[in-house]
Structure 1
Amino acid sequence: MPPSRSPRIAVVGAGPAGLTFASVLHHQLSTTPAPFTPRVTLLERDSARASRDQGGSLDLGGPTGQQALKLAGLWGQFLKFARYEGEETKVLDKTGKVWWHKGGVAGAGGPLGEPGGRPEIDRGFLNGILIDSLPASAIQWGKAVTDLERSASGAHKLTFSDGTSAEFDLVIGGDGAWSKTRLLLTPIAPYYSGVTMIEVRLSGVDSRIPQVGAFVGQGSLVAFSENKGIFVQRNSGERVRVYFAVRCAETWQKDCGIDWNSLSAARVGIRALFADWDSALLGLLDLCDNGVAVRPLYMLPPDDFRWPHMKGLTLLGDAAHLMTPFAGEGVNMAMVDGMELAEALLDAFKAPNEDPLDSAVTAYEEKMFPRAEAVMNATLQNIEAVMNADAPQSVLRFLAAQLPPGTIPGF
C-alpha cells in the first residue's frame, strides 16, 4: 500500500518545540509546492494560551532559534518584540563588585545570524508569535493526554482526560520534562541536578523603583560566590525576575523549615542563606511582588538520554533532552528540534519513499542526538563553573576561554 499523503500527526504539548515544528511545516507547505498535506494537531493540556505564567526571558541564537523563526516566516514578527539591548550582562561577586560588564545594542535588528546577536524575547511573546502563525484549529486546548498505546492498525491511540480518544500515524512528544510520551520509549527519567532556584519578581523597576532598573541594566545581572548565585533577569514591561540559586539536597524545599507560602518568612529564609551578600542584591527581596516559587532543577543524563527508535513516535525539546538553564540553550535546542523534524518530513515526502514518516523521524533522531548531547554536556560544565567555591573567578575563566582574547580583562 502506498504511503498516505495526508498523515495524521499529533504533537503532545504546545510549547516552543511543538509550535516551531507546526509553524515551520505550515509556512513551508504554504509557500512551496506541497509534497504532502499533513493533518497536524497540537494537543495542549492548558485550557488557554495565557492560563498560566509563561516564564521569563529567552535569548535566541542565530543558527538556532532565529533560523527556525526565519523558516517559519516569522522574522519580521520577532523583531517587533526582540530586545537587542537585553544582551547587556553584568557579572558580580557577593560583595557587589562588578567583574565584567558587557553592554547591549539598543535598537539593533540586523540580518539573521548577525555575529554576537542573541537578542532577548519574553517566552510569552515567542509562544504568541508561533501560535498566531497557525490556523486556530491547529491547537486543541484543554486536551490532557492520559494514555498512549499502539493500536491494532499500527497507529498510536491517544486517550484524553475528557474521555475522548483519537488515532494518529505519528505522535510527537513535546510534553516537557515529565513527558508521558517519553515513558513509551525509555525508562530513563530526569534526575535532580543538585541545584535549586528560588524565584521572586519585581514590577515597575523603571518608574516605581528606578534604582533597581539602573542597577540591573537592560539585560541580566548575575552574582556568584561560594557555590551560590543570584540571577537577575530583565523582562519586558519594566519587569524583573530574580533567581536565588543554592546547592542543596533534592528534599531541601520541604526540609529547610522555611514557610514558602509566606513572603515574609521566605525573605527571612533567603536572607539567612545569603547573609553576607551585598545589600543591593539582597535589597531586591524587600522590593519584590508577592509570591515565591521554589524550583529544583532536573536534567536528563547526557550519556544516557537516547531511546531506541520506535515507528510512529518521537520526542522534541525537554521531553527529548531536558537540561538546566545554565547554558541558555534549552529553548534554542527545542526550536531546532521542531525545525529539523519539519524539514526532515518535507524532504522525505519529496523523494520516492516507502515509509516517509518513519524515514523522516529516523533522520531527525540521528541528527538530534549528537547535537543535544553536546549542549547537555556544556550545561554540566556551566553548572560546575557557576556553582563553584571559586566563583566568580571560575565563571570568568570559563567565559574568557570561549570569547576573543582580551574580552574579559585579566582572564
Structure 2
Amino acid sequence: MNTSTPAPRIAIIGAGPGGLTCARILQRRGIAVTVHDADVSRTARDHGGTLDMHPTSGQAALTAAGLMDEFTELSRPEGQRMRLLGRDATVHFDSFPPKAADGRGNPEIDRGQLRDLLLDSLTPDTVHWGHKLTHADPLGEGVHRLHFTDDTTTDTDLLIGADGAWSRVRCLLSEATPAYTGVTFVEAGLEEADTRHPKLAALTGDGTMMALDNNLGLVAQRNSNQHIRIYIGMRIGQDWHERAGLDLTDTDAVREHLLRQFIGWSPDLLGLITDTDTGYINRPLTALTVPHTWNHTPGVTLLGDAAHLMSPFSGMGANLAMLDATDLARAISAQPTLDEAVLAYEKLLLPRSVEAAEGSAEGLDSAFAPDSAQQALAHMKEHH
C-alpha cells in the first residue's frame, strides 16, 4: 500500500472467524481497521460447535496471524477422528484423516475458543459491538457511508462484508440470496457427556460420529468440556414443523416427532435424540447458488459466507473464510491502492469459491440420499 497518501478507512462488517482474521493480519502489518458487529458483546450468544482447522487454509491463516502457538495449546488433535455407523449402530469406519506433507493434521477447536483467541489478539476497541448495519450508500470513488441501527453513520474507503449468510453488504455486489438446500438439521446437545451419558459418549468417540441412511442422519460432534453437539438431519420440507402442527418450543412433542422419522434405527443411536440436555433448535441449511460471482465494484468486497455460503456439511466454511481474510489482508498490504488490492484478491477468491461450493453441494446431496450410507462409506475410504 502507498504510505505517502492518507491512511485508508477500512471497515469490516462481522466479527466471525473471517472478519477477525482479516483485522488481525491488517493490524500486524500496521494497517488500521474497524470491525462492526451486530452482537451487543462478545458473549452475547453461543457461537456453535467445533471446527477442524485445515493445514492449507485455517492453519495457514493462523500462522499469518501469528497465533499458531496459541491455537496449538487450545486445539484437540484427537478431534480429527471420524466414525461412520450404520442405522443399527454397527461401526463401518473409524479413522483419522491423512496428515499433510509437513505432518500436520486437522486439529479441532471450539468456535467460541477460536473467536476469543482472535478477539484477544486485536488492539483494544477494534470491534464496535452493537453496530448492526442497515445499509451502505455509495458516495463515489469507492467511498461508502455505513448506516447502523443505533442511528450512527461512518464513511469508509473499503467496505468488507464478512457478515455471513444474510449479509447486508452482499446486495452492493449481487442480487443473490441464500436458498434452502432441502436438508434441515435439528440441533441437540449432551452436557458432561462422559459422566452423565457414557454410552453415547463412547458411541461418539473422540471426534465426529455420523450415522446416515435413506435421507436421514445423526451427527455427534465432540466439543470441549465434555459437551457433545448433536445434529439430527433430515431431507424434508423447510416447513416440516408447521405441516406437523409442531410448536418448536414444545420439547416433548418435537422429540416424539423426530423419533417417528427414525423408526427402525438402533435404540443406542436414538439416545442422541431422546437424551438431549439442551432442547432442540431448528436449523434449515441454506446456500448461495453455484456459481456465485459478481462484477468488481470499487470500495467493496466480500469474504466467507457472505461470498460463498455453503452447507456446513463440507467442513470448509470457517477455513475458507480465514483463507479469504488472509489473502485480502495480504493484498491490501502489498498493492499500491485499495482497488488494485481488491481486484487481486477477487481473482483468487472467486474461482476457488466456486469449486468449494460445488463440492459442498455434492457432499450434502450424497449424505442425504437414499443410498447415503454406501456413498459416505466410499467417500471416507477414499479420503481417509
TM-score, structure 1 as length reference: 0.89
Listed as ranges, the gaps of 5+ residues in structure 1 are: 30-36, 404-411
Kindly report which structure 2 residues correspond to 1:188-267, keeping only aligned pairs within 5 A, or say none: 188-267=176-255
Alignment-derived partner of residue 328 in structure 1? 315
* 1:60 and 2:53 are equivalent in the alignment: yes
Alignment-derived partner of residue 20 in structure 1? 21
Deviation by residue 1:44-87 (Cα, 9 ceiling, x = unmatched): 01011110011000001001000100110101110111000011
Kindly indicate whether the alpha-carbon contact (under 8 Å) linking 2:26 and 2:32 is maintained by their aligned counterparts in 1.
Answer: no
Alignment-derived partner of residue 65 in structure 2? 72
Paired residue total? 383
Kindly report which structure 2 residues correspond to 1:159-178, keeping only aligned pairs within 5 A, or say none: 159-178=147-166
The amino acid that maps onto 1:69 is L
Kindly report which structure 2 residues correspond to 1:6-405, keeping only aligned pairs within 5 A, or say none: 6-27=7-28, 29=29, 37-103=30-96, 114-115=102-103, 117-151=105-139, 154-303=142-291, 305-348=292-335, 353=336, 356-403=337-384
In 1, Cα distance between equivalents of 2:247 and 2:270: 19
Kindly indicate whether the alpha-carbon contact (under 8 Å) linking 1:263 and 1:290 is maintained by their aligned counterparts in 2.
Answer: no
Q: In 2 relative to 1, CA 275–168 (structure 1 residues): closer, same or farther, beyond 3 Å?
A: same
Deviation by residue 1:162-207 (Cα, 9 ceiling, x = unmatched): 1110100000001110111001111111111110010101100112
Kindly indicate whether the alpha-carbon contact (under 8 Å) linking 1:61 and 1:118 is maintained by their aligned counterparts in 2.
Answer: yes
Question: What is the aligned-residue RMSD (CA, Å)?
Answer: 1.9
The amino acid that maps onto 1:9 is I
Deviation by residue 1:252-289 (Cα, 9 ceiling, x = unmatched): 23223222101111110110111111101111233211
The amino acid that maps onto 1:146 is T
Offset at residue 3 of structure 1 (A):
7.1
Kindly indicate whether the alpha-carbon contact (under 8 Å) linking 1:91 and 1:221 is maintained by their aligned counterparts in 2.
Answer: yes
3-state secondary structure, aligned to 2:181: strand
In 1, Cα distance between equivalents of 2:103 and 2:171: 40
The amino acid that maps onto 2:251 is L
3-state secondary structure, aligned to 2:94: strand
Alignment-derived partner of residue 34 in structure 1? none
The amino acid that maps onto 2:330 is E
Q: In 2 relative to 1, CA 391–204 (structure 1 residues): closer, same or farther, beyond 3 Å?
A: same
In 2, Cα distance between equivalents of 1:329 and 1:297: 15
In 2, Cα distance between equivalents of 1:251 and 1:206: 35
Offset at residue 251 of structure 1 (A):
2.1
The amino acid that maps onto 2:323 is V
Q: In 2 relative to 1, CA 24–113 (structure 1 residues): closer, same or farther, beyond 3 Å?
A: farther
Percent identity between matched residues is 38
3-state secondary structure, aligned to 2:35: strand
In 2, Cα distance between equivalents of 1:297 and 1:3: 47
TM-score, structure 2 as length reference: 0.96
In 1, Cα distance between equivalents of 2:123 and 2:222: 32
Offset at residue 114 of structure 1 (A):
4.0
